[in-house]
Amino acid sequence: MSNSPVTSPFGLRRPEVAASRSYVTLGAGTDIFAVEVEYVREILGLRVIKPLPNGPEFLAGLIDVRGDVVPVIDLRAKLGMPPRTDAAAESTRILVLGFTIEGRPEVLGLMVDQVFEVIEMRVDEIKNMPEFGTHWNAKYIKGVFLRSNELIIIFNLEKLFSEADIVSLKNFM
């Protein structure tokens, strides 16, 4: 996006405003992550999750969302973080996400320690994730954003949940 001035209908020149996007911020451990609002169908409190024996380690189980069976991914397990010691904490939330993987629509629940807020981020302030120096797989990350000295990590959902993950989930459903 250029920084060239834009002419208004009245012939006045004004600077071009950088595009922004809305994100839901969430926490796992001491880290702050974000997903684009457009992928979040709803945010649920912790509810009964039906575990599936022999499922992938990151699969917490299944929940009923108004008659639909939705697999729930434990974000901590997916990122290789230690399990929560207070797993039934009141702040735990499940984000019901709708997105596409390799052109196919998918709906998944993402269990997180807490949800903070919806924020606006200017696209030109989102930086690339370094390929090194992180304790997560860099391909899971779309970018990073610095706000009030806090680093917010933006997920790339299509990479966080790969085709192989979806196939392995469907084998247990």
* Per-residue pLDDT of the chain in tens (173 residues, 90 and over written 9): 444 555 555 556 555 556 999 999 999 989 999 999 999 999 999 899 999 888 888 999 999 999 999 999 999 999 988 888 775 578 999 999 998 887 888 899 999 999 999 999 998 888 887 665 556 677 889 999 988 888 999 999 888 887 677 766 666 65
Q: Which domain holds residue 35?
A: 19-170
- Pairing mode of beta strands 150-155, 31-36: parallel
The answer as to whether 2 is a domain residue is no
The answer as to whether 50 is a domain residue is yes
84 Cβ contact list (under 8 Å, min separation 6)? 76, 92, 113
Confidence (pLDDT) at 88: 57
The answer as to whether 5 is a domain residue is no
Among residues 21, 23, 31, the alpha carbon closest in space to that of 114 is found at 31
Q: Is residue 114 within 8 Å of 25, Cβ to Cβ? A: no
Q: Is residue 138 within 8 Å of 129, Cβ to Cβ? A: yes
Confidence (pLDDT) at 1: 45
The answer as to whether 13 is a domain residue is no
d(CA 13, CA 6): 6
Structural domain count of the chain: 1
- Domain of 86, CATH number, reads 2.40.50.180
Two tokens, residue 149:
């000295």
pTM for this prediction: 0.81
The answer as to whether 108 is a domain residue is yes
Q: Is residue 76 within 8 Å of 82, Cβ to Cβ? A: yes
Compute CA distances 1 → 19, 21, 33, whole Å: 9, 15, 26
The answer as to whether 3 is a domain residue is no
The answer as to whether 121 is a domain residue is yes
The answer as to whether 4 is a domain residue is no
